[in-house]
Chains A and B, each alone.
Chain A
Amino acid sequence: MKCVVGIDLGSTTTKAVLIDEEGRPLSRGITNSRSNYGVASAAALADARTAARFSFLERAIQGSTGVDSNEARAALPRLFEAFRLELHLDELTALRDAIHVELDRNLLRRVNKSVLGPAADLVIEDAKGEAPKLFAPGAERRSEFFRDLAAAAFIAGAEKLARKDGTPFEPLVGLFDRAILEVETRLRPRNEESLLRRGLSRVETAPVVRAILEVAIGRAVTEPLEEVAFAGTGYGRQTLPFPKPAVRSEILCHGRGAHRMYPGTRTVLDIGGQDTKGIQVDEHGVVTSFQMNDRCAAGCGRYLGYIADELGLGLHELGPLALQATRAVNINSTCTVFAGAELRERLSLGQKREDILAGLHRGIMLRAMSILARSGGVKNEFTFTGGVCRNAMAVKLLRGLIAESYGSDIVVNIDPDSIFMGALGAALYALDDLRAGHPQLLPTFEPTGMLPPPGMGGECANCESSHDSAHQHH
């Protein structure tokens, strides 16, 4: 099947969407953005390709009848989780290898290599042993990104060892910090068939059901998936790893994507990590006007991240806590740093966290309302996108403010998957190019050498002594 790719390289996450030649979304993938943009793009795309295989698998079984087929269908979620587990285990192996490369670079002569090597192996083995729990049915993972999961497991394992036999904690975690960079910025081919078959061996099921799944896997992985056009967008405009004709502005892509999701959309608000955008679109989803924050990113997603850190909370906990407020405290500072100081001051005065948080949320949404007003106001229908639309308090306040300023008959669309709107919009623009006869082809995301080549990271050809990573050559 032929498909069209859109990638959105954001400041926090990188998203990829595949659509078919009719413009129907096939699948999407997401990863954390990292220093190597090419690898981030490739990783998000690999995720989207996998998701496409999953949907092929679903369709391969769909329509079949009988008890065995029903069981095969019911086993699919377990199979997909087992696939993710196998992938996670492979990544852990890659992490272990990277740690040994780091050790061989002789970075840490002060600490006995013979201590750290086996210790790291133990921690990784431990993490592998614990991994099935993370991917068990009904398990909740705090993050979908390998970096976060591996960091949590590694730190826990290193703490355990330190307590047990005094293995030095800092050097061990330092090893992880360097090795994870290597793992994250190296492209590794993903063999979906092998991962699926290994995953299947973990799924307990009757032989006849297994046979149906075996055949379905065979069909799903051999279904040709040909990427015939591409467009990319994202925050790092200057350094996007895409050829220039394939780059579309974020504003255009977010407008188009939101309109594709909710075709009645005429106004879009997107609050991302560091941008707040007010966008007006016409009946075709083409942007007619826009405004965005300039020079200052107070009131964007990172603002909430900072406040969450100040309070020692997870980002996802802010909204629900703020919803418990009985009154909103007025926060006077528009600057993120000053607002942090004001937050601490008000806490010390004995004001309740939820009331202060309600005030902070209100501050953010008022800024967004101002940008919307400058972009031409709110027209029916209104679609809210970006990471902040997952925050229930932000949504509640926004609904109220819109009803107050623009009337209560404005339809407000909010989709939990709206983080993919930029990538979806990019894919739709790529489809335009395809239909116009000048498709842009997917670039190869070669690692761009963000990491120094082996031998330059710590151990230097020119130096007699070894040294830590703070040492730099000029």
Chain B
Amino acid sequence: MNTSSEKVTEKTEKRDDGDRDESQRRQKAMIGDHFDKLARAKEDGKKVVYTFVPGNLTELLGALDLLPVLPEINALQSGMRGRSGKYIAEAEKAGHSEDVCTYVKCDLGMLKSGNIGPTGQKLPPPDVLLLSYTGCFTFLKWFELLKQEYDCPVVMLHVPYQPDGEITDEMRKYVVDQLEREVIPALEKVAGKKLDMNELSRRLELSAKAEEDLVWVWESARNTPSPIDGYFGGVYYTGPIFSSFRGTDDATDYYKLLRGEIEGRIARGEGPTTPDGPMGKEKFRLVVEGPPNWTNFFDFWRMFSREGAVVVASTYTRVGGLYDRGFRHDPKKPLETLADYCLGCYTNLGLPTRVNLLEHYVKTYKADGFLINSVKSCNSFSVGQLLMLRELEKRTGVPGGFIESDLVDPRYFGKANIENRVQSYLQMLEARMSRGGDLGKATSGFAGILESAAAQAEGLVTLGRKS
């Protein structure tokens, strides 16, 4: 591959927040450590599981000493590192249409290009593919494709959709039965050991501790100014808990550390950290629905942070669990709690439940507006978003905005267009907040106004007038 042409077409964005916060440095070290383990998996005799973020069974995998690889996270990392365009082209060359989800194509392209992970180390092939969330149809197809690439078993957990926003006993039992009869035995076979239920419970208890601190972090956005950005900054805060670290001491320590940092910011009356350093004056508080764009993540973030717009809550940061609506992993009911976690993914909820949740966020966090980033790749998110927008406007009286981009396909991020919309939207909020504008005057048409102005203008001496 020609790397110089890649540099021309895709630049990695610059940012200067660097490793400002200790928590961020800690997270980076955790990730580095995890990829080290993956790179050594073969020599260490560890088994590797490829699985997805929504409905991930991290505690179960940890209890069985299995190492997870998350293809979605790899894809978004590739997007942020400016490699996704090349990977997507690779997948399209292999016959995948332009309309296929770009996470899938990015992952397949990365695989075809040597499967080098975000830290530059080669990722090990999977010993098992675990599909523990079926709310996204694309996930099924994604693993069908990976199955063709790797000679390994696929384990599938069918998770029923929540049309009414409620988990019934039947749903829970259906998932628990599958865990007991199929998923756990299959994973035990790969791991070469029996599941220790005490170890699972120990991990679930650690998860709940971290979840408690994460909820505190989300709710800190009730402060004015908000000490966090719950969308752009929020994707960092969800990192450990959504990925491979839930149920470990590392994750629990990370959230304790993060909480301490945010407590400090609140005490000092500071806003969130942004790509340009600490944020200036908070002018707009927003709620955001939909995933971010990753190829221009920092450009996108700056469009908000430089205008004084902070995101106080977002739904994307809830794809790995609706903890702030009360869910906690329960060590006393390990399998039921895993079932509830899988069933409770944000994208597994019907539109009415999603609208209720957004309404709750707008009201609780005193948002001035809400914005939908509708991504081309993700049907799970995008279907019905315009309906949600109208309904939310009706219920909250707060104006909604709508932008379109994509997850990791750089071709679908039109910076000028998106910036135009974001600026227009923020200026619209500003105009509404300051209640500017003209009340109706009985004139019609430009020429009519010109005439009336001419008639009314004063201060001109007329010629030839004799009184």
Contacts and interface: CB of A to CB of B under 8 A. Distances in A.
* A, B from the same assembly: yes
Interface of A: 1, 19-20, 22-28, 55-56, 58-66, 68-69, 212, 215-216, 219, 223, 237-238, 248-252, 256, 259-264, 282-292, 294-295, 374, 376, 413, 415-418, 420, 424, 428-429, 432
Contacts, number: 158
Contact of A216 (B434, B436, B437, B463): B463
A40 B386 CA distance: 38
Contact of A249 (B399, B402, B424): B424
Contacts of A250: 420, 424
Contact of B427 (A65, A248, A261, A420): A248
A212 B445 contact: no
A290 B400 CA distance: 9
B424 A69 contact: no
A27 B442 CA distance: 19
Nearest to B374: A294
Given A1-B459, A284-B437, A285-B437, 13 more contacts: A24-B457, A26-B450, A28-B446, A59-B454, A69-B464, A212-B464, A219-B461, A252-B424, A262-B444, A284-B438, A288-B428, A289-B400, A291-B402
27 contacts: A25-B449, A26-B453, A26-B457, A27-B450, A60-B460, A63-B465, A65-B465, A68-B464, A69-B464, A219-B461, A238-B416, A249-B424, A249-B428, A251-B428, A261-B443, A261-B449, A263-B440, A263-B442, A282-B437, A283-B439, A284-B435, A284-B437, A284-B439, A286-B428, A295-B404, A295-B417, A374-B402
A416 B444 CA distance: 12
Contacts of B404: 294-295
Contacts of A216: 463
Contacts of B431: 252, 286-287
Given A285-B438, A290-B428, A294-B414, A65 B466 contact: yes
B441 A263 contact: yes
B403 to A, nearest CB: 8
Given A251-B428, A283-B440, A294-B414, A24 B445 contact: no
A413 B420 CA distance: 27
Contact of B464 (A28, A66, A261, A374): A66
B14 to A, nearest CB: 18
B393 A289 contact: yes
Which A-B residue pairs are the 6 nearest by beta carbons?
A284-B437, A263-B440, A64-B464, A24-B453, A417-B446, A249-B424
Interface in B277-299: none
Given A23-B438, A285-B438, A417-B447, A294 B463 contact: no
A19 B457 CA distance: 11
Nearest to A414: B445
Interface string B94-106: 0000000000000
B462 interface: yes
A155 B64 CA distance: 83
A248 B435 CA distance: 16
Interface of B: 386, 390, 393, 399-400, 402, 404, 412, 414, 416-417, 419-421, 423-424, 427-428, 431-432, 434-447, 449-450, 452-454, 456-457, 459-466
B420 A237 contact: yes
A68 B463 CA distance: 11
A226 to B, nearest CB: 12
Given A285-B438, A289-B400, A417-B447, A59 B462 contact: yes
B19 to A, nearest CB: 31
A288 B449 CA distance: 25
B424 A260 contact: no
A366 B450 CA distance: 34
Contacts of B437: 256, 259, 282-286
Nearest to A248: B427
A101 B412 CA distance: 46
B428 A252 contact: yes
A374 B386 contact: yes
A313 B404 CA distance: 36
Q: Which of B428, B459, B466 has the most CB of A within 10 A?
A: B428
A252 B437 CA distance: 10
B444 A261 contact: yes
Contacts of B444: 261-262, 413
Nearest to A60: B463
Contact of A20 (B393, B453, B462): B453
Contact of A259 (B402, B428, B438, B459): B438
Contacts of B414: 294-295
Q: Which of A56, A68, A252, A262 is packed against the most chain B CB atoms within 10 Å? A: A252
Nearest to A413: B444
A15 B444 CA distance: 20
Contacts of B417: 294-295
Contacts of B440: 263-264, 283
Given A25-B450, A283-B439, A413-B444, A215 B463 contact: yes
Contacts of B452: 24
A23 B452 CA distance: 12
B419 A56 contact: no
Contacts of B463: 60-61, 63-64, 69, 212, 215-216, 219
B255 to A, nearest CB: 38
A65 B465 CA distance: 6
Contacts of B445: 261-262, 415, 417
B383 to A, nearest CB: 15
Given A261-B449, A418-B446, A256 B465 contact: no
B393 to A, nearest CB: 7
Contacts of A215: 463
A251 B447 contact: no
Nearest to A417: B446
A64 B417 CA distance: 54
A260 B460 contact: no
B464 A249 contact: no
Contacts of B419: 237-238
Contacts of A68: 464
Nearest to A259: B438
Contacts of A420: 446
A25 B446 contact: yes
A60 to B, nearest CB: 5
Nearest to B449: A25
B340 to A, nearest CB: 37
A285 B417 CA distance: 23
A238 B415 CA distance: 10
Nearest to B402: A291
Q: Which of A59, A223, A292 has the largest number of chain B CB atoms within 10 A?
A: A59
Contacts of B461: 60, 219
Given A59-B454, A62-B462, A69-B464, A260 B438 contact: yes
